[in-house]
Every structure is written in structure tokens, then in C-alpha cells.
Amino acid sequence: MHPPRLRPILCQLKAARLQRSISTSKPVVELAYDLYEPESSKKNPGAPKNAPVLFLHGLFGSKKNNRSMSKVLARDLDRPVYALDLRNHGNSPHSPHHDYTALASDVEAFINTHNLHNSTLIGHSMGAKTAMCVALRSPSKVANLIPVDNAPVDAALKSDFNIYVKGMMEVERAKVKKQSEADEILKPYAKELAVRQFLLTNLMRAKDGPHMIWRVPLNYLAAALDDMADFPYRDPDEIRYEKPTLFLRGTKSHYIPDETLPIIGRFFPLFKVADIEAGHWVISENPEGFRRAVVEFLQDKD
């Protein structure tokens, strides 16, 4: 065992080595984003900006999912909010490499490119694990962290994403011309209307014909489902994030069961948990509960 005073230094050195070895293995992509400025910045554009918030969506999502909440958080926190499209989603480039180390590298490159400091990372589901990886690998870039309904563990996806992909592939093969046709095809694969509407936000008109296509590369994402269930770090004695962290979990969701709390505490020793009355889709199901938890947590840090 190393003396206690040396452990933080050793953790930082190991994290730096991990980051160098990982970030050079796969090319980063330049992420699309929307920026929501607080009123204070609009009224006085030359004034120094408050610490930014980066908002990361989940699998099959995009920056558009978080548009309304980004505006609300920019207003309530008086901070700029960057809503990102992660690789293979929204308007960001596609890549066959889709795992959390690649996703984290993209976000780190975004922070560097935009010269952001003391950032808060908020991520839902896939975005939560991405945000956790960034914080663990690059703690100096992240002032505080809010993972939403996901834990730093290797666990099978607890919803039906593989079934959704099968339905989406059937839509693609059918070359539908209307969104309503796609909805009918998806019904056996996603019985809840809200889920189908969420998936259908990825449907767009093809440039080379009257049919509709998916904005996301289904072949890449289908191949990445196991990686999305995984978490790339196993040993919290080697890498940890020792800054304020708030885990938000839906009371009707099973993504952060109580048995994961000990390992969460080892990776993120300054963590808190807030339960929100919702399923896995916490932000859309209970936006006010989500907003209140985030604002209360971050106002304490200002």
C-alpha cells in the first residue's frame, strides 16, 4: 500500500498515462453543439463568462432533446450551457469507433478547442458514462459532475435498445416515405408512444430519393451496444474523481441500484444521490424535479 499522501499523486499520474494511451488510439471527431447564453451574457457580451455547463444526451438522442432544459439551466444558473451531439448522433460526424473512451476523447477535445474552464458535466445514460469517463481521465477539466441514471459498472442494458435497433433496421429496409409508416413498423418493437416518438426524432428525408433514412448510423451503434453497457474502468484505486458529484436516479428505473453505491463511492468519493420520481428518461419525465435537483446542487458550488 502507498502512503495516503502519495495516493492522489499516483492516481493523477495513472490517469494521465491512461489518457495518453487511450486518446491517441482513435481519432476524435468535432462535435456539433448548441450554445445557450444566460441573459447576463446577452446584455453584456464583453463581460467574463461564468463557468460553463456541458449537457450530454443518451443513446439515440441528440442536443435537441435537451434544448428546453438547457435554456432553463442557463437562465436559473446564469451560466452558458453547451448542448452537445455526441459522435454518431445528431449533426456530429460518424465513426465506427463508438465506446466510452472514444466518446470521452471527443468531449475532452471540445473542452480544449473552446477553451472552457471549471466545467460542469451533465450526462444522461450513455452521456452519463461518457461524463464519468471525462471526469476520471481529466479531473482538471471538470469542476463538478452530474451523471443521470447510470452507474460506473459493467451491466447489461436494462431496457430494450437491442430491440429498438431491430425495429429501426426494419424501418430502414422498408424505405418508408412518411413518419407515420415508420411508427407503425416500430410498434411491435417499442410499445410506448413516447419511446417511438423519441426514436423517430432520428428520421429524416434522404437526399437521393423520396424515402426516409435514419440520421444515426445503425450499423455502428448496433455493434456498440455491448460497449454501451460496459464501463472502461475497473479499479477505483487506480483512477478516481475527487470533486463534487451528484448522481440523479429515477425511482422507477433500475440503472443505479443500491448495490452499486459502494463502487460509486470508491470512484467518486464526494458523491451524493438524489432520487427523482421518474423512470429512466428522468429529464423528460420529470423536468421540474430534474431542474430543482441540478440547480440546488450547483448553486451550492457557486
Q: Which residues are catalytic?
A: 125, 280
The H helix count followed by the E strand count for the chain is 13, 9
The angle that helices 67-77 and 287-299 make with each other, rounded to 10 degrees, is 30
Give which of 118, 117, 123, 81 is closest to 103, Cα–Cα. Answer: 123
Distances (CA, A) of 258 to 169, 234, 263: 35, 18, 10
d(CA 200, CA 293): 29
C-alpha cell recorded at residue 213 = 433514412
